[in-house]
């Protein structure tokens, strides 16, 4: 008798389409070979990064080749492609990546002097093969937008002399441009460097967390901490999304792992399906800005700025606190307005028992944090220590124990989780290469400064829009890589600290997936909640509106990214927290009781005064807030012993 699919299974199938997940199921000889390729990819990265470094040309190109083999094997080229075996086209594309790398190995001593300067015919031919392979990897994994943008940039590099105004350049011949793109300044530049050196091992760490059952433990931990509060299941999503998101580095993956548990809980406790999905999308998008791991693009930021990753992770602490503080108050005020209560204690795991039974699963995260922030180890060595710690402590209980067979499977299948990031970074490298070769980055800076007429606020809005438009249509890593190549210089020229300029772009690239029209995180959450995606995406923006202001806060107040004295940092944090709370109250229309539209506008003004740096605006905002508190308390008629506990 055929198995009948549940509604949840059908919804998860829809989500797979959103994630562009592998659709082929390969068994037999091909499946075994692919399993071996995945295992070899993981072992190759571990050996090179930890024990035996090799030349960057070889390491980065082989990183792309490994990813390409997995992509062309697991992602069919078109809908009618074979689903249980490879098509001839797939084999040809794998060869298109392998042959150029073999050619580099053979011609390396002279290749490095010819590339991008005086290439010969074979240099051009093999460069073209590799570029075509990367473009097809991008198309299969991320879809049309990133691939199309990369192609347009290639055409711009070749025919730039025909462009008008600022965008004009002298143009480059096909041989010079194609070989330049197949180099350490193009495809194999900083995005692929970050993917190969840092991101890969953290993705493996996430795979080990999933295999050990730590992801489910994170959800149970969150339920025990926040489940009993007003709007409890939605607040559970804050804790679990932050914990899972810092390991996954993907808002959509965060929705899938976390939302499957939390969205049904929210709906069961009285949240409308649309609201439950919007809350999950908001919380999951924020997971990428939570230290210590953050999103994959954070490693790229550290490399671009030339600072230790610990500097990036430390600077992200307060912005992450402000984002999730705003999320907490949005949920709390909405729940109070709608009369929603927490989950019954009988349905919640006991924190003491949970920590006694599985608390050891938090140890690898503490080890990772110690290695990154205290011992100042490199990110990849920190990830290795975290993986080893997880394997070691997993043996405490049979259900979390990872046998040799399980470890090998995680190493093999975990590499598949990295292939999409590698494909994205390689395609982004094409764009970075054209920008570097043509000087487009400086031209973008001039355009932003020109259109903003030197006004920082207008420049920030233009930068935000560009970063979010890119972030809607492609993964965060690609959106940040492209934006970081052209946008920060304009903000820096207008006086923004380099770290603040990059964080501003990174932040909006992270939260773009919940905004319409291409709101992939909202779409995934809507599929689980059985809600309309358009309604979910707009409501997610409303719930996250306070979070949208956080980047402006740390641009105008660098103390929020730990630039300044301790007193400045503490004051900025306290007033920022109060400001996000009052803004949430204004959006939801509830603060110690229902709010009229006049009072909501009043609170909105106060929140902006508190968010704006400066003790004068802070004092004025606090004084006005005290007035509204007194007015609201006088109007409350509910006895204090019957009030809902926030």
Tell me, what's the pLDDT at 9?
43
Identify whether the C-beta of residue 258 lies closer than 8 Å to the C-beta of residue 277: no
Q: From the centroid of its chain, how far is CA 245?
A: 8
Q: 115 near 182, Cβ under 8 Å?
A: yes
Angle between helices 533-543 and 545-556 (to 10 degrees): 40
pTM summary value: 0.71
**Burial class of residue 548 (count of CB atoms within 10 Å of its CB; 0-12, 13-18, 19+):** middle
Q: What are the tokens at 37?
A: 């390729």
Query: Can you say whether the dihedral through the CA atoms of 515, 518, 524, 527 is positive or negative?
Result: positive
Task: Write out the DSSP string of 415-454.
Answer: HHHHHHHHHHHHHHHHHHHHHHHHTHHHHHHHHHHHHHTT
Q: Which of 645, 610, 644, 646 is nearest to 626 (CA)?
A: 610
- Do 436 and 156 contact (CB within 8 A), yes or no? no
Residue with tokens 């070899």: 40
Burial 45-72 (b: 16+ CB within 10 A, else e): bbebbeeeeeeebebbbbbbbbbbbbbb
DSSP structural state of residue 558: G
For 590, phi and psi rounded to 5 degrees? Answer: -145, 130
Cβ(588)–Cβ(601) below 8 Å: no
CB 275 within 8 A of CB 236: no
pLDDT of residue 14: 44
Q: Which two structure tokens, joined as six digits, stand for 80?
A: 């009618």
Non-local (6+) Cβ contacts of 433 within 8 A are 180, 181, 183, 185, 186, 187, 189
Phi, psi of 109 (to 5 degrees): -60, -30
The total number of residues written for the chain in this structure: 646
Q: Which residues of the chain have pLDDT under 50?
A: 1-21, 638, 640-646
Q: Are 45 and 63 in contact (CB under 8 A)?
A: yes
Structure tokens at 488: 């920060």
Rounded to an integer, what distance in angstroms lies between the CA atom of residue 303 and that of residue 186? Answer: 15
The answer to whether the beta carbons of residues 483 and 466 sit under 8 Å apart is yes
Question: Taking each helix axis from N to C terminus, what angle separates 232-248 and 273-286, rounded to the nearest 10 degrees?
Answer: 40
Q: Terminus-to-terminus CA distance in the chain, angstroms?
A: 50
For the record, the structure tokens of 472 come out as: 């809607």
Could you report the per-residue pLDDT of 95-129, keeping only the tens digit for each? 999 999 999 999 988 888 888 788 899 999 999 99
For residues 580 and 323, give the distance between their C-alpha atoms in angstroms, rounded to a whole number.
8
Structure-block tokens of residue 625: 């807030």
As a whole number of angstroms, the distance between CA 35 and CA 29 comes to: 10
């Amino acid at each position: 008798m055929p198995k009948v699919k549940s509604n949840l299974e059908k919804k998860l199938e829809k989500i797979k389409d959103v994630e562009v997940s592998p659709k082929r199921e390969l068994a037999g000889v091909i499946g075994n070979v692919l399993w071996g390729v995945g295992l070899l990819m993981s072992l190759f990265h571990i050996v090179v990064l930890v024990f035996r470094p090799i030349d960057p040309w070889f390491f980065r190109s082989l990183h792309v080749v490994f990813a390409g083999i997995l992509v062309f094997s697991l992602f069919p080229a078109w809908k009618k492609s074979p689903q249980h075996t490879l098509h001839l086209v797939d084999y040809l594309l794998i060869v298109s990546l392998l042959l150029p790398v073999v050619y580099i190995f053979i011609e390396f001593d002279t290749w490095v002097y010819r590339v991008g300067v005086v290439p010969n015919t074979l240099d051009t031919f093999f460069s073209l093969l590799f570029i075509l392979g990367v473009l097809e990897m991008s198309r299969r994994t991320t879809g049309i937008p990133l691939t199309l943008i990369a192609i347009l940039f290639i055409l711009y590099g070749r025919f730039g002399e025909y462009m008008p105004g600022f965008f004009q350049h002298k143009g480059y011949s096909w041989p010079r441009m194609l070989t330049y793109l197949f180099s350490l300044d193009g495809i194999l530049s900083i995005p692929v460097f970050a993917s190969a050196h840092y991101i890969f091992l953290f993705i493996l760490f996430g795979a080990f967390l999933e295999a050990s059952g730590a992801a489910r433990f994170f959800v149970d931990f969150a339920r025990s901490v926040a489940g009993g509060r007003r709007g409890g299941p939605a607040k559970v999503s804050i804790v679990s999304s932050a914990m899972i998101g810092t390991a996954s580095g993907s808002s959509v993956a965060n929705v899938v792992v976390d939302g499957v548990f939390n969205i049904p809980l929210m709906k069961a406790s009285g949240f409308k399906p649309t609201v439950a999905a919007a809350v999950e999308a908001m919380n999951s998008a924020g997971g990428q800005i939570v230290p210590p791991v953050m999103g994959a693009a954070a490693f790229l930021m550290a490399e671009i700025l030339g600072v230790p990753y610990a500097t990036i992770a430390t600077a992200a602490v307060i912005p992450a606190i402000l984002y999730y503080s705003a999320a907490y108050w949005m949920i709390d005020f909405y729940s109070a307005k709608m009369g929603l209560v927490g989950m019954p204690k009988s349905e919640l795991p006991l924190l003491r028992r949970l920590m006694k039974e599985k608390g050891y699963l938090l140890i690898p995260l503490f080890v990772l944090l110690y290695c990154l922030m205290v011992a100042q180890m490199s990110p990849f060595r920190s990830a290795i220590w975290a993986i080893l710690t997880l394997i070691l402590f997993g043996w405490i209980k049979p259900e979390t124990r990872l046998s040799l067979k399980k470890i090998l499977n995680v190493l093999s299948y975990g590499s598949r989780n990295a292939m999409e990031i590698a494909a994205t970074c390689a395609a982004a490298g094409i764009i970075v290469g054209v920008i570097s070769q043509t000087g487009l980055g400086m031209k973008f800076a001039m355009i932003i400064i020109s259109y903003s007429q030197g006004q920082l606020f207008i420049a920030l809005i233009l930068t935000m829009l560009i970063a979010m438009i890119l972030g809607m249509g492609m993964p965060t890593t690609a959106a940040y890589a492209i934006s970081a190549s052209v946008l920060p210089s304009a903000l820096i020229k207008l006086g923004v600290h380099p770290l603040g300029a990059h964080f501003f772009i990174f932040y909006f690239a992270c939260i773009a997936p919940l905004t319409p029209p291409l709101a992939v995180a909202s779409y995934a959450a809507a599929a689980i909640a059985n809600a309309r995606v358009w309604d979910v995406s707009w409501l997610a923006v409303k719930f996250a509106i306070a979070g949208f202001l956080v980047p402006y806060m740390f641009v105008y107040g660098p103390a929020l990214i730990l630039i300044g004295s301790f007193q400045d940092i503490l004051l900025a944090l306290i007033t920022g927290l109060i400001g996000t709370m009052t803004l949430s109250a204004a959006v939801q229309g509830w603060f110690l009781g229902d709010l009229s539209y006049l009072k909501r506008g009043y609170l909105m003004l106060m929140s902006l005064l508190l968010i704006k740096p400066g003790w004068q605006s802070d004092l004025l905002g606090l004084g006005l807030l005290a007035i509204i508190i007194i007015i609201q308390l006088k109007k409350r008629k509910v006895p204090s012993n019957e009030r809902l506990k926030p």
